[in-house]
Structure 1
Amino acid sequence: MKFTFDHNNINVLDLEKSLAFYKEALGLVEVRRYEPEDKSFILVYLGDGTTNHKLELTWLRDRKEPYDLGDNEFHIALVVDDFEAAYEHHKKMGCICYENKDMGIYFINDPDDYWIEIVPAKKK
């Protein structure tokens, strides 16, 4: 028996704001969408154009209050080929929320305050 990663899910309050953020900050684009007839929720799957792994954004029509992320100890991580350019881009966006210079990584936060770790590609 072999398992492979397919997607991760996060819930978002403002779907359009989140879609714009993930496109601008990380270059993720919509690859699939599901919306039931009653329009009570929308699922949008984002892809990086390279891997098969997807980020599923779930929007719930009746949800009005921000999500309780607890201690927010979970996160998503993405590897970037040009770490310095990504850092400058995120700095201009104002979304860097934590830096660990000793480890050579930093984190950005999305509109719902989910943290995303930015990791430099390993040098060969």
Structure 2
Amino acid sequence: MKFTFNHSNFNVVDLNKSIEFYKKALGLEEVRRKNAEDGSFVLVYLGDGLTGYNLELTWIRDFEKEKYELGDNEFHLAFRVDDFDAAHKLHEEMDCICYDNTKMGIYFITDPDGYWLEIIPTR
């Protein structure tokens, strides 16, 4: 028996805003979508075009809060980038860097819902 990674899920408040963020900040594109027949939820899967791994964004109609409670946010996704300096510049311009660890040579950005995303240079 062999298990392989397939996807991770983030619940989002504004689906279109999140899709735009992930496209601009990380170059992720929509690879598929599932709309509930009753309109109660939408699942959008984003991919990087290189791996088979997807990020599933889930929008739930009856969620009435402005933001999901993420607790201490001790979880994150990590992305490796081939041009770390250009990525850092883009994310500075987007004003989405939440933690810059120059000593380790990594940094974190936040998406519109407050999820942390680690940016790692290709080494």
TM-score category by the smaller chain? over 0.9
Output the CA distance in 2 between the equivalents of 1:86 and 1:37: 39
Residue in 2 aligned with 1:60? 60
Aligned CA-pair RMSD = 0.5
Residue in 2 aligned with 1:90? 91
3-state SS of 1:8 partner: strand
3-state SS of 1:25 partner: helix
Cα deviation for residue 64 of structure 1 reads 2.0
Residue in 2 aligned with 1:106? 107
Residue in 2 aligned with 1:20? 20
Give the unaligned 5+ runs of structure 2.
none
* Percent identical: 65
| CA offsets 1:24-75 (integer angstroms, 9 cap, x no match) | 0000000000011101000000000000000000000011211110000100
* TM-score, L = length of structure 2: 0.98
Cα deviation for residue 102 of structure 1 reads 1.1
Output the CA distance in 2 between the equivalents of 1:92 and 1:61: 32
Paired residue type of 2:29: V
Output the CA distance in 1 between the equivalents of 2:63 and 2:90: 31
Identify the range of structure 1 (43-52 vs 59-68) with the bigger mean alpha-carbon deviation.
59-68
Output the CA distance in 2 between the equivalents of 1:76 and 1:19: 16
Output the CA distance in 2 between the equivalents of 1:92 and 1:37: 39
Output the CA distance in 2 between the equivalents of 1:68 and 1:56: 18
Output the CA distance in 2 between the equivalents of 1:48 and 1:106: 19
3-state SS of 1:79 partner: strand
Task: Please identify runs of 4+ aligned residues in structure 1 that moved more than 2 A.
Answer: none
Output the CA distance in 2 between the equivalents of 1:78 and 1:42: 24
Aligned residues: 122
1:28-39 correspondence runs (5 A): 28-39=28-39
Give the unaligned 5+ runs of structure 1.
none
Output the CA distance in 2 between the equivalents of 1:102 and 1:37: 49
Residue in 2 aligned with 1:77? 78
3-state SS of 1:9 partner: strand
3-state SS of 1:22 partner: helix
